[in-house]
A = this chain, B = another copy of it.
Amino acid sequence: MNVEMAIDTLWVLLSAMLVFFMNLGFASVEAGFARSKNAVNILSKNFVVFAVSSLGFLLLGWGLMFGGNHPFVGTQGLFILGGNIDESIYTLTANVPFWAKFIFQLVFCGTAATIVSGAVAERIKYLSFIIFSFVLTLLIYPIVGHWIWGGGFLASLGFQDFAGSTVVHSVGGWAALAGVMVLGPRFGKYDHNGKTKPMPGHNMPMATIGLFVLWLGWFGFNPGSTMSMSNPADVSHIFMTTNTAAIGGILSSTILSWTYLGKPELGMTINGCLAGLVAITAGCAYVDILSSLVIGAIAGILVVFAVLMFDRLQLDDPVGATSVHLVNGVFGTLCVGLFARAGVTSLSPASGLLFGGGFSLLGRELFGILAVAAFVFPSSLLVWYLIKRTIGIRVSLEEEIAGLDLGEHGNSAYPEFLSRKPAYSAIVSDGAESIRIREVSANETY
């Protein structure tokens, strides 16, 4: 028995399972934060998206990401399905069998795609979402991944993103933001005075279950990104920074929600926890425990204001995915440049601004953030736009009002429960216009 490989494989597969399990977490959080009439649709999206991502990553994504060390994109061994695999050409060099590496990378790719799902919820066509996810995981995500984790130009520059604040979360976040902009807000979300109409999530217990599963999954996401147990102290340290940032996010968002918004809202504290987790993802192996608490706490504050800001900008993101993943993905990556401390684990080569490393690392992080934004946001916009112009992107207003579950799936999430539709009252409370009139404007969004 190759003992070291056995241990590393066990660890990588366990971590892959945990990250896979985050699909359940995202599905539950997103469905819980949406309205019941769209629950089946959201669940279906989160469910099919992993299938589609797996296919995309298997067909081409892996090759683009790890196929040789061209600065911008993988060019070797692109197609792995069916053929013989020459492991030596790939740039991912963990001490585990090929398919273990593949699966581990696959679940990360799937996560990026899942992030989009929540932001575009409650009005996107099922098919359009599937197509976008396929393109994202077949092309966009792998290219960025290549830059940073596959030996591309950002890796060469020394850009550091340990477990994917940028690679996974902000890629998903930029793609989501582009989708939100092309789609326009849900019908009735903002009245003509720009006032936001609250559309509370229909099932907070389900959202909370999802949160705990995500939190658990992050213990695979971050510590697992070592892809090895050869240095147990590193893994343990990363586990600890991950958890500490999460609690930082919970505590600060709870306090802020309590003092600034009046009450400690559950939805806000859930987002606070996720924000902390996203923010520590880049730096989990580079910062010390106290820093992770600080990073998490700031993230928990950022997310609250980000949610309010996106609503003010009338960028309607039903579950707060952009606030959590985009804003804190960017913030977390910057934190590497601020809080990194060389030597805090064996994986941490450089120090950030606050620990005597000067502006060098911070500059590189900033450059990476901008490079990724400059690629992912416009290319996502383009894909969304092409989808809109061809098969269409948004369900009809009738369908949106009746719910996507009926329209897209012919199903009802809870056919036996009597429900009021609080959304209805929000829809038309701003005066005398009829639905027909607004239907036009809904079609005109963007």
Contact = CB atoms under 8 A, between A and B. Distances in A.
A18 B14 CA distance: 11
A93 to B, nearest CB: 15
A51 B264 CA distance: 14
Given A51-B250, A269-B44, A414 B202 contact: yes
A415 interface: yes
Nearest to A13: B239
B205 A413 contact: yes
The binding surface of chain A is classed by DSSP as helix
Contact of A17 (B20, B35, B216, B232): B216
B21 A212 contact: yes
Contacts of A4: 1, 3
Nearest to A421: B416
A24 B417 contact: no
Contact of A243 (B47, B48, B103, B410): B103
Contact of A55 (B200, B251, B416): B251
A58 B3 CA distance: 33
A102 interface: yes
Contacts of A413: 203-205
Count of identical protomers in the assembly: 3
A289 B415 CA distance: 39
Contacts of A211: 47
A194 interface: no
A9 B48 contact: no
Given A212-B21, A212-B23, A251-B51, A266 B44 contact: yes
Contact of A262 (B51, B250, B410): B410
Contact of A100 (B14, B24, B212, B232): B232
Contacts of A43: 204-205, 208, 266
A16 B100 CA distance: 20
Interface in A1-34: 1-11, 13-14, 16-18, 20-21, 23-24, 27-28, 31
A420 interface: yes
Contact of A411 (B265, B412, B421): B265
A205 B31 contact: yes
Interface in A384-413: 408-413
A216 B290 CA distance: 32
B422 A263 contact: no
A414 B232 CA distance: 43
B97 A232 contact: yes
A236 interface: yes
B236 A20 contact: no
Given A3-B7, A54-B243, A54-B247, A411 B266 contact: yes
A47 B208 contact: yes
A36 B416 contact: yes
A293 B39 CA distance: 29
Contact of A212 (B13, B27, B206, B421): B27
A419 B418 contact: yes
Contact of A269 (B5, B47, B212): B47
A40 B203 CA distance: 10
Contact of A232 (B9, B103, B247, B254): B9
Contact of A254 (B48, B50, B254, B412): B48
Given A3-B3, A48-B250, A411-B265, A209 B416 contact: no
A90 interface: no
Given A3-B3, A51-B246, 14 more contacts: A5-B232, A6-B7, A8-B232, A10-B11, A31-B208, A36-B417, A39-B204, A44-B264, A97-B233, A200-B415, A263-B411, A264-B408, A267-B411, A415-B422
5 contacts: A27-B212, A48-B251, A99-B237, A266-B411, A418-B418
Identify the 10 closest CB pairs spanning chains A and B, nearest first: A9-B232, A24-B212, A97-B233, A100-B236, A51-B247, A99-B236, A263-B410, A51-B250, A6-B229, A99-B240
